[in-house]
Structure 1
Amino acid sequence: DRILVKMHATATAELTCDRTLQPYDEALEGQYNVLFGPPSMVGQEGDEFEEVRPLDASDREIDLTDMVRDTLLLAIPQRRIAPGAEDEPIEREFGGTDDADEDDSAPVDPRWSALEELEDDE
């Protein structure tokens, strides 16, 4: 009337590096123990299992899909850094430089020309 499932799941996930925004593959691994037992046991905890799920005597199969998916999702690191990405420099300055030759008289966007006329009136 009871089934103890000890699962060890492995997979390869294609993740995006938080530092370089480049895709990379990472091996995931997780384990989980669950006891399927009579409905009277649901809610109890034990040393060998994390939770108890109901198992009726008429059940002929057990669906482990959700447990395997959740186990692997919990194995995904919160900070996803590709191998070797820690050594790459991070650009900290963006936009144009002060040394760039810019023509201040020409607006960047022609839609701003109406505002430039207001500035000339003053």
Structure 2
Amino acid sequence: MGAYGINIVGLSNKEHQFEFEIGDAFFRKYGSDLLSEGTFHADVLLFKHETFLEAEFKIKGIAKLVCDRSLEPFDYPIENVHKVMFKYGDADEEITDEIMIIHRDTATLELGQLMYEFISLAVPLKKLHPKFQDEADDDDSEGKIVYSSGGDPEDGKSNDKDDDDIDPRWNILKNLQ
């Protein structure tokens, strides 16, 4: 059993609480592509039932990120809650992000990879140092469509020349239906 595993064979059918400390060694083991440093505390509340297990992950801590703009390191606070249901079946399979099938003979739930994914999903795509946060809030140009000509698309009018001024060679194409 790894440092982030829970032995589920000996657990009774009730609620169980587990705590995990997550540090740099954790990120070296589970992946350092997106996130390689940080300090986190994970509380896992496991509800064992006869035919399935429910787990609630509460993860809180600080990720060490590097600013995309200035390349300065900064601390990014992360706090999230995720629920996962583990159902017994014939083979290990991920049905959805919240439902996983585990083999009925599984003795240990390895939760490290799940916790890594939960932390990684909380990291923003655009990593900006807090000193640039005001600029990021003002940057409303992302996601907007800019029309260079043709007028306002909402009023249906166009700034182009009237159809009468079209090159006569293009009028031939209108008759090709």
Aligned Cα root-mean-square deviation (Å)? 2.6
Partners of 1:6 and 1:33 within 8 A in 2: yes
Secondary structure of the equivalent of 2:109? coil
Identify the structure with bigger relative contact order (alpha carbons < 8 Å, sequence gap 6+): 1
Mapped to 2, the partners of 1:86 and 1:28 lie a distance apart of 16
1:21 paired with 2:21, answer no
In the other structure, the counterpart of 2:121 is 74
Q: Whose strand fraction is larger, Structure 1's or Structure 2's? A: 2
1:87 deviation in Å?
A: 6.1
1:31 deviation in Å?
A: 2.4
In the other structure, the counterpart of 2:98 is 50
Count of matched residue positions in the alignment of Structure 1 and Structure 2: 84
Mapped to 1, the partners of 2:118 and 2:124 lie a distance apart of 12
Unaligned runs of at least 5 residues, structure 1: 89-122
Mapped to 1, the partners of 2:94 and 2:118 lie a distance apart of 20
For normalisation by structure 1, the TM-score amounts to 0.56
1:62 deviation in Å?
A: 1.1
Question: 1:30-83 deviations in whole A, cap 9, x for unaligned?
Answer: 32211112216x6667xxx82123142x43321111110000000000111111
For normalisation by structure 2, the TM-score amounts to 0.41
Task: Report % sequence identity.
Answer: 23
Which residue, out of 50, 53, 58, partners 1:8?
A: 58
